[in-house]
A and B are shown apart, each in its own frame.
Chain A
Amino acid sequence: MYTEEIVQKVNEFLVEEFEVDADKIKPEAVLKETLELDSLDYVDLVVVIESNFGFKVKSEDFAGINTFADFYNYITQRVEHQLQEK
């Protein structure tokens, strides 16, 4: 389960990068529709995740991410995995 800390950090860079109204970002909202992502924007999503968390998301991983809650959970798992590896 994701933490408030992850939510805050993720929302902050999504608002900054994709210039979306912060009020529109809710756990149940659909990531692609809310951020109006096209195929090129997913490349930039990979870039901002890498610059904020230091790991790279593979494009196929996005297939399992529908809502912001899914996204927070995915990031949380990857962060935990990263910590375990260290």
Chain B
Amino acid sequence: MMSSPDPLPKETRAPVTWRGMILGVRKISVVLPGIIVFAVAFGAAAAAKGLSLLETVMMSAIVYAGVAQLVAMELWRPEWTWGAIAGLAAVTATVNARMVLQGASLQPWFARFPRALNALHLFFFTDANWLVGTRYHAEGGRDLGVLIGGGLLLWVVWVLATVPGYLLGSLVSDPRRYGIDLVMPIFFAAMIVPLWRGRRAARPWLVAGIVALVTAKLVDGYAFIIVGALSGAVAGAFLDDAA
């Protein structure tokens, strides 16, 4: 992998190129094995919960959020009321709230592109895309093709891999056994290294970590991500007032 980052481009116009899309495909390919097993596990869980194959594949295709889909399988029921659907939507939004912050952190990059293009490529925005995009952007890259290419590939693989999971059922219903539950945490942890800008810049992260740990102890679910990360951002905004 290239280690010398390009200098910041002078022009404000940002490109979308085929080269970028191929680069995005290469960068995202690292997470594919983990995503495949995750999708298979979701397919198996959906089959066990009595969803039809079409419902399962459509959920992967239009919801396209692994953790939220697995959590939804815990809450799935044979009969639905409007209240239960509203509850499911609320849980989904909580699990995915981290995407709000992830999108916000990359907005200065996206702002250079047409609104319709952003509305389209953001449909394919995931944790893995955010990690790849954040590192690429931090190294000076501005080609949106990297996110689009990687995002499309990941989506296709996710949707396709749901099918064998549904058909094979319980073979891989326990992702823990193969350490697959750790794929995304490992990627998140590994990101610390390219993001590292010295101890001073890491002080907000410490705040984020402590607040997240405390929140996780007090509140069930995934609220700790957004509470911790927001605390880190606020700390970053005001801690370095002298710098």
The answer on A and B forming one complex is no
